[in-house]
Structure 1
């Protein structure tokens, strides 16, 4: 999809990858609704974009995991700019270390997975009628590999990848494009949450990501997303080594799991 003249929505757009996506989409010629649970952060990003590209960004504080919130998001974008062409389901939560509680699982499932399903439920019928549309799913390398630390994060990111695959398989021949973003370390607040948790598994989760490869800027990741959307590519891997890891996992699953056990043990043993 060429972004010039298109209308985009970015959830979790108040900073990090979401803020960078909003800026890059506008730089490519799109108009964007920046939405975040933190309305002030969304307003700040939209104001920064407006200062450079007047008339190209609006903000809305809303819950992108909530059915009513998604309806408000899409409605605000339509009121400001017209029908939504691209929806970047970027809002996410890290999940509690370990198995987590029922409430923590509910939150992770709602934000990391059901938010994508609910947005698609609103937009896919409209895109099918128009013959075009684009869905960007922010998942994680954890959705292809796994995640030391949080069961809820690992599982919901796997599910996000699976849902993006299903969307592309089911609607890709009907004009709906899908890209699934699966980075490792990106310098965001979410990356550092584990090391501030005071929990050994949480601290190991951050060290696992930061030691596995370069920690990228959100802007670099957003550039990769724009290239993928423009080319109509499904899998977006800002860290190319993830593909090699994924192949190794599939080639010998038992060996890979044994290796991950050793890796996790080493991270826990190295805890300061």
Structure 2
């Protein structure tokens, strides 16, 4: 996808990867960039930095009615949506002992929000013969977020959903991408490191931590090539191959890393 003159919607647009995508898409010549997030004030501030093509909307991506209204309003204003980035996400930093409420929130934000986005934009995209969905799924969706069971399970589900959409609708003109970065310098990772969460420490120890702008660069390249898996950390592809070829060895390596991290207290 060439982003020039495209109409784009980004959920989770108040910061991190979402705001970096907005800035980069505007620089690429997008006709409109609609930023949607629960945090109305922060989203409006991001839209101001992006420029006149940006519009901020307060939206809960895990509420189907609000997502449906977001899509309908954007199509009324701009005539179409060319690219919908389902980018909102939440982590828990805990294992299966996470309360049911945390499991439910992870499911709703990390999976159902993608379902709601697809339901809302598919009719218009298919009627026009094309469009692009990009789901932010995380490297956890093809590997594992050690230390965060709800995040791992829901991100795997998100990749599976994206693949299902790609297979089902590609011949009708729909393109689908799953964005799967590893460590990114966002508040989510910073908060996890500050509290010593194992999941965040494993991420930080597993490879370079990219800036959101570097992720946005990878996204633009991936969209241009219409890639399904967009991997800002290229090493994730190698990890996935090793995991598939030798799952027992892969798990043994992660257990070794976890033992080392647990023996080393996190910095104060």
What residue in structure 1 maps to residue 16 of structure 2? 16
What residue in structure 1 maps to residue 231 of structure 2? 237
Q: Gaps spanning 5+ residues in structure 1: where?
A: none
Larger deviation, residues 76-85 vs 57-66: 76-85
What residue in structure 2 maps to residue 72 of structure 1? 69
| Aligned with 2:131 (options 126, 130, 133) | 133
Give the secondary-structure state (helix, strand or coil) at the position aligned to 2:240.
helix
CA offsets 1:61-103 (integer angstroms, 9 cap, x no match): 1101111110122133223322111100000001241221100
1:256 aligns with 2:253: no
What residue in structure 2 maps to residue 93 of structure 1? 90
Q: Which residues in structure 2 correspond to 1:187-206 (within 5 Å)?
A: 187-197=185-195, 202=197, 204-206=198-200
What residue in structure 2 maps to residue 84 of structure 1? 81
TM-score by length of 1: 0.94
> In 2, Cα distance between the equivalents of 1:126 and 1:60?
20
CA offsets 1:142-197 (integer angstroms, 9 cap, x no match): 11110111100011111111111111111112110111111111100011222233
RMSD: 1.2
Q: Is the 8 A contact 2:68 2:116 kept in 1?
A: no
What residue in structure 1 maps to residue 107 of structure 2? 109
CA offsets 1:33-57 (integer angstroms, 9 cap, x no match): 011110011101111112xxx3x11
> In 2, Cα distance between the equivalents of 1:108 and 1:263?
26
Q: Is the 8 A contact 1:62 1:72 kept in 2?
A: no
TM-score by length of 2: 0.95
What residue in structure 2 maps to residue 43 of structure 1? 44
| Aligned with 1:224 (options 218, 221, 244) | 218
> In 2, Cα distance between the equivalents of 1:211 and 1:33?
35
Give the secondary-structure state (helix, strand or coil) at the position aligned to 2:79.
coil
| Structure 1 runs (4+) greater than 6 angstroms displaced | none
Q: Gaps spanning 5+ residues in structure 2: where?
A: none
Give the secondary-structure state (helix, strand or coil) at the position aligned to 1:193.
helix
CA positional deviation for 1:131: 0.4
> In 2, Cα distance between the equivalents of 1:148 and 1:181?
19
> In 2, Cα distance between the equivalents of 1:160 and 1:227?
21
1:60 aligns with 2:60: no
> In 2, Cα distance between the equivalents of 1:235 and 1:223?
14
Give the secondary-structure state (helix, strand or coil) at the position aligned to 1:159.
helix
Q: Is the 8 A contact 1:58 1:80 kept in 2?
A: no
CA positional deviation for 1:242: 0.8
CA positional deviation for 1:221: 0.3
What residue in structure 2 maps to residue 142 of structure 1? 140
1:155 aligns with 2:153: yes
- How many positions carry a matched residue from both structures? 264
Give the secondary-structure state (helix, strand or coil) at the position aligned to 1:136.
strand
